[in-house]
Copies of this chain bind each other. A is one copy, B any other.
């Protein structure tokens, strides 16, 4: 099945409630004005809402497309985070090849860096949702790391800096050669880019005037509809207007929720679930056999 069972329609309906109540009220008033009190001259030609309907459909279609692109870009960024987490681990395991007495130290460093990568994924997800970033991440970090990370406002960025510091140590010890240092630095750079891209999507409000004008335009279209229909249809216009209004307002709400994918809402990018996948993959790459379960669709989240 492509459509999930628990559809977040209730969620959306709740969000359009006030619009729908207002429209119902309006169409009833107009129906009564026409039918009962014979207020003449309030009808307008259907061509007017028809023109506006074409315009608002187009604008809504474009706007939904732009919201969808933001949502999909957020998902692409988190897909890249999965890829680069695996690549970082594979590179650390594949580049560092130390025997002798430093073998244990080197293995510890690799494990520490891989665990820190898991911490980074959880911390970034929670930061984006403006939740305390270290709740899920602190189990992967030492006391000392937690102290250092606390000094910076941006926790995931501080974690990346610690990765670079460990890489510097590995280079100083000769565990990685200069090419490998640069190649690992390139992976950290990509993770830094993904972090910044997520923050950009989070922090950039969708153009407010644009949103508002679409909303006003949509209202204008819906408000004119009963005036255009009352003459031909009388009271039958009421359910018709309400149904059409619901359809258009739902499309608009969908666009509004898709455009902000890190708001702790049912429509979010599933950052916790992705961070868990990273944890499982990385633990297994470290030969650990006990791994946590994948995240079931988060409570009240629908993995839209």
Given A79-B197, A94-B164, A153 and B284 contact (CB-CB distance below 8 Å): yes
**Bound complex: CA A133 to CA B153 (Å):** 28
Copies of chain A in the complex: 5
B180 touches A267 (CB 8 A): no
Within 8 Å CB of A51, what residues of B? Answer: 49-50, 53-54, 244
Within 8 Å CB of A147, what residues of B? Answer: none
Question: Which residue in chain B gives the minimum CB-CB distance to A231?
Answer: B45
**Bound complex: CA A87 to CA B194 (Å):** 12
Interface of A is mostly: helix
Given A152-B284, A177-B178, A192 and B68 contact (CB-CB distance below 8 Å): no
Chain A window 1-43, contacts with chain B (Cβ cutoff 8 Å), 1 for yes, 0 for no: 0111001110110000000000000000000000000000100
Within 8 Å CB of A151, what residues of B? Answer: 284, 287, 289
Interface residue range, chain A:
35 or more
Is A75 positioned at the interface, with any CB of B under 8 Å from its CB? yes
**Bound complex: CA A181 to CA B179 (Å):** 9
